[in-house]
Structure 1
Amino acid sequence: MTLLTDDQKQLHDMARSFLAEEGAIKKQLRHWRDSGCKDGFGHGLWKQFGELGLTGICIPEAQGGLGLGATEAALVLEEVGRNLTPSPLLTTAVAAVRALDGSAQGERWFPGIVAGDTVAALAIDEGQHHAPAAIALEARRSGNGFVLNGAKQFVVHGASADLIIVAARTGGSAGEHDGVTLFAVERDTSGLQIENVTLADASKAARLTLADVAVDADAVIGEVDGGWTPLARALDAGRAGAAAELVGLASGASDITVDYLKQRKQFGRLIGEFQALQHRAAHLYGEIEIARAAAYKAAELIDRNDPRAELMTAVAKAKAGRSAALAVQEGVQMHGGIGMTDEHDIGLYMKREAVLGRLFGDWRYHAGRVAELSG
């Protein structure tokens, strides 16, 4: 893992203590799940994130943010994953902010994000699997603006978002990077239909239908036909952040599993004394540490604008996804029957991994990207 500066250590310590208290599973995930909340997260906690400056972690200081980078975001997101804290931090404060950075739309929406008042969502995928290049939603010129027609799936927090960043095609054809344009669409725009969906981990995503949604030219983020650049920037930031969150998830699942091994007795002995389980726990520890190193290396390269960042981000997302899957599988197995009950938290880690592991592309998608980018 990258050596941390004193300021980064201080940020990490603050995030760890804050989320262990305010973002704890019982206080957040279980509470909002059991209350049937339509958002799946608490706006009060999002406001607290804003008061701590975390919502503006990637927003420049000149625009009210902390002016930090992907590494600092990873430090916070690892603790979000460790506590399974439901929040729009990854999608809004990291991915969406990177898409908006440097645009007039960023000037408009950043103050609300910094304050913890605004939630943003990314509307990219249109099929069953992550395939951003396959964008086919049409944006047709009309007067001084555009008319959008098509559909999107797996729009995380789409029904709760004040701003939806829609990737549409103004030129070219599905599968091409050229001809993609990003649009800032407000939630109450006429013609936008939102179906809120509850995912396996009790988080919310949406299916969007855009039927003659009219937006003016000011809604364009960046350049017409040049949306792939801000989109790729947002995707890499989101993938690196998701990798860090998956590392935190894996660590949290591993911690409660190891604690269980130290408490559960069988045949008059603690099961943690059984060599087979020790070997499995040690193997898991090694896999998580490798994933952590990859996640922070990806964040570091993004912060340095290194051309290798795209490749390392794919490595990190693939490795973190595999490690998190191993952590929750081992956790449930080592807990035995109790691991299948809702009263025990280990099952919640498994459900979260099932969703987060696929956000911004699962490990198979990114293993393919690693092969492609490596020639």
Structure 2
Amino acid sequence: MDFKLSEEQQMLQDTAARLVRDTYGFELREQYRESAQGFSGEFWQQLGELGLTTVPFAEAYGGFGGNGVDVMLVAQELGRGLCLEPWLHSVIFAGGLVEQLGSAVQKNELLPQVASAQLQLAVAVDEPQSHYQLHDVQTRAVAVNGGWSLSGHKSLVVGGQSAGLILVSARVAGDDRDEAGISLYLVDPASPGISIREYPTMDGRRACDLFLDNVFVSCAAVLGADGRALDALRYQQGRAIAAQCAEAVGSMEATCALTLDYLKTRKQFGQVIGNFQALQHRMVDMHIELDQATSMAMLAACVADEPDSPERSRTLAAAKYIVCRAARYVADQGIQLHGGIGLTWEYVLSHHAKHLLMVARQFGDDDHHLQEYSALMQAV
């Protein structure tokens, strides 16, 4: 495949790479991670000022009008820098849901704010029992005068602790695992009846559990038609998966570069350990996995914005499966080739490894996506 970037795409990638390289050193990242917000508000605003939060949105909403490849270029650089900001969950996943399901009023009000980084969104779709199944929803929405009353428990809401609005899935009809009857609501986390339990994830990002106890949501805060949000959730999660694959590739590239540099400088028995053939072979294996993951991330980016179809879903499931396995392998081998220092908290490689292990489980692990791929093959 001849995968050449256009001049605009090259400029977009260069902008993202330069911003991360010049303003997001590892020491600064650790300061951001330990802050009350859990990421850099200043860097978040810089993403908006440089147009990196506008990439997937239509020009009518202040966006760049970019496609999946444009999103891939930004995500890859953010992954390379281990950036903590909830760009993927706010801009790609949540923003995509608003753009797909929102009314004209909702889109005109919210999307320009998301595109300019003035408003951060989060998506609450996972529940303790759901295990990657978007249709496994026990949170309930009951119609009341003027709106809806939401009650339930949402888990692992990435960026939810700092979001201005959270998109919450809730069931309006049917049993807990029915595919019909799921709606999506724009919920203010400061609303009465909401409690939040915040915690750090394995890779240093912040997430929260959301507890809803008869939380009132007005009719104006419903996204899309009542009970028909599942298809949009699956479609936009597919776009988020494509972006996450690219983010993982950036992190794997950094891990391979760190490992190669270590092999060229660490000495044992009077010579650099990179001269040992066994370690050279393992380094080659890491690059093979990286190359496979890169190819699948590119393929996922190319189909991410295509209309929903079994072929698109199969491609995204295959990409996530390959990237999950590659991410775990590269993380494990990077640590093995470094030895003890690879696990040191003060060394950046350990944080790449944690991030790659987190990526391998978010939005579905490799077993989940292999099953999805197999089921879609049987449907042909």
* Alignment TM class, shorter chain as reference: over 0.9
| Counterpart pick for 2:166 among 140, 161, 164 | 164
Structure 1: segments with no counterpart, 5+ residues: none
| Counterpart pick for 1:242 among 237, 244, 257 | 244
Q: Which residue of 2 aligns with 1:321?
A: 324
Cα shift at 1:217:
1.0
* TM-score w.r.t. length of structure 2: 0.94
Q: Which residue of 2 aligns with 1:274?
A: 276
Cα shift at 1:23:
2.5
| Counterpart pick for 1:175 among 177, 202, 206 | 177
Quickly say closer, same or farther: Cα 1:124–1:306, change in 2 above 3 A. closer
Cα deviations by residue, 1:192-239 (Å, 9 ceiling, x for unpaired)? 111111112221110000000011111111111111122112211111
Cα deviations by residue, 1:1-57 (Å, 9 ceiling, x for unpaired)? 7432222122112211221222332222x1123xx3232111110000000111111
Instruction: Specify the SS of the correspondent of 1:54.
Output: coil
| Residues 1:331 and 2:334 aligned together | yes
Instruction: Specify the SS of the correspondent of 2:187.
Output: strand
Cα shift at 1:292:
1.1
| Residues 1:345 and 2:335 aligned together | no
| Counterpart pick for 1:224 among 226, 229, 251 | 226
Cα shift at 1:92:
0.6
Q: Which residue of 2 aligns with 1:77?
A: 75
Cα shift at 1:122:
0.6
Question: Counterparts in 2 of 1:273-312, with a 5 A limit?
Answer: 273-305=275-307, 307=309, 308-312=311-315
The aligned amino acid for 1:31 is Q
The alignment covers a number of residue pairs equal to 372
Question: Counterparts in 2 of 1:16-55, with a 5 A limit?
Answer: 16-28=17-29, 30-33=30-33, 36-55=34-53
Q: Which residue of 2 aligns with 1:99?
A: 97
Contact conserved, 1:39 with 1:157, CA < 8 A, in 2? no
The aligned amino acid for 1:329 is D
* TM-score w.r.t. length of structure 1: 0.96
Cα shift at 1:306:
6.2
The aligned amino acid for 1:188 is A
Cα deviations by residue, 1:42-88 (Å, 9 ceiling, x for unpaired)? 11100000001111111110111111122111111111111111111
| Residues 1:196 and 2:206 aligned together | no
Q: Which moved more, 1:303-312 or 1:115-124?
A: 303-312
Provide the aligned C-alpha RMSD in A.
1.4
Q: Which residue of 2 aligns with 1:364?
A: 367
Cα shift at 1:136:
1.5
The aligned amino acid for 1:353 is L
Cα deviations by residue, 1:95-143 (Å, 9 ceiling, x for unpaired)? 1111111413332211221221211111001125322121121011112
2 CA distance for matches of 1:6 and 1:305? 26
1 CA distance for matches of 2:26 and 2:67? 27
Cα shift at 1:273:
1.2
Instruction: Specify the SS of the correspondent of 2:152.
Output: strand
The aligned amino acid for 2:35 is C
Question: Counterparts in 2 of 1:116-127, with a 5 A limit?
Answer: 116-127=117-128
Q: Which moved more, 1:9-18 or 1:85-94?
A: 9-18
Cα deviations by residue, 1:257-304 (Å, 9 ceiling, x for unpaired)? 001011111111211111111111111111111111111111111233
Instruction: Specify the SS of the correspondent of 1:148.
Output: strand
Contact conserved, 2:141 with 2:151, CA < 8 A, in 1? yes
2 CA distance for matches of 1:146 and 1:101? 22
Contact conserved, 1:64 with 1:114, CA < 8 A, in 2? yes
Instruction: Specify the SS of the correspondent of 1:101.
Output: helix
Q: Which residue of 2 aligns with 1:68?
A: 66
Cα deviations by residue, 1:305-353 (Å, 9 ceiling, x for unpaired)? 3622211111111211211111111111111121122222111112212
Runs of 4+ in 1 over 3 A off after TM superposition: none
Contact conserved, 2:235 with 2:308, CA < 8 A, in 1? no
Cα deviations by residue, 1:177-203 (Å, 9 ceiling, x for unpaired)? 211111111121111111111112221
Q: What's the % identity of the aligned pairs?
A: 33
